[in-house]
């Protein structure tokens, strides 16, 4: 049985692709496998935007912030949640409460599977239009939240 972990923000060009890339790396490390072996073990870590235009590249400062920690967002292309993906999701982590509400309203099958990335419920601020330093701050908030979420993801994977 596969496990699908989705990270969601609004435009899918900054926060969520960065969160997915960092989560992919941290989850692989926690499982003792390479990132490329995740798929072979039935694990998908991806991202979407609630209002993403299709196929946009990651924001340049998101790419730069990712580069600084060894994650490459250059091949990322934005997309929205769709019914097929919603039906396969194990868990969705959102950056803002409005995104949680939007996804559950649009895809009722996600009820009980969508929550805020930060366990304390605080939003991860939108870096759109901000400088590299702000993107770094957002990356650090995402990384901190993932540090608390990775054990949960490992437990969900081990539940296979």
- Per-residue pLDDT 10s for the chain (160 aa) are 699 999 999 999 999 999 999 999 999 999 999 999 999 999 999 999 999 999 999 999 999 999 999 999 999 999 999 999 999 999 999 999 999 999 999 999 999 999 999 999 999 999 999 999 999 999 999 999 999 999 999 999 986 4
> Where would I find the H helices in 107-131?
none
pTM: 0.96
pLDDT at 160: 47
| Pairing verdict, β 91-94 and 43-49 | unpaired
Report the CATH fold assignment for 3-158: Rossmann fold (3.40.50)
Q: Give the closest residue to 5 by CA, choosing from 18, 22, 23.
A: 23
Distance in angstroms (rounded) separating the CA atoms of residues 54 and 138: 23
pLDDT at 27: 98
- Rg over alpha carbons for the chain, rounded to the nearest Å, is 14
116 membership: H or E segment, kind and range = strand 114-116
| CB count in 10 Å sphere of residue 20 | 25
Token pair, residue 127, equals 């870096």
pLDDT at 158: 84
The residue count for the chain: 160
pLDDT at 1: 65
């Amino acid at each position: 049985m596969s496990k699908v972990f989705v990270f969601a923000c609004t435009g899918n060009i900054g926060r969520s692709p960065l969160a997915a890339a960092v989560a992919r790396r941290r989850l692989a490390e926690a499982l003792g496998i390479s990132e490329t072996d995740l798929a072979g073990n039935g694990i998908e870590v991806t991202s979407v935007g609630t209002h993403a235009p299709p196929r946009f590249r990651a924001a340049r400062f998101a790419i730069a912030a990712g580069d600084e920690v060894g994650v490459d967002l250059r091949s990322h292309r934005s997309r929205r949640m769709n019914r097929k993906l919603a039906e396969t999701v194990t868990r969705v982590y959102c950056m803002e409460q409005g995104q949680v509400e939007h996804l559950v309203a649009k895809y009722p099958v996600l009820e009980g599977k969508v929550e805020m990335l930060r366990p304390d419920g605080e939003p991860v601020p939108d870096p759109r239009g901000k400088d590299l330093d702000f993107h770094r701050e957002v990356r650090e908030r995402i990384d901190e939240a993932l540090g608390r979420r990775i054990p949960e993801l490992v437990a969900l994977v081990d539940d296979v």
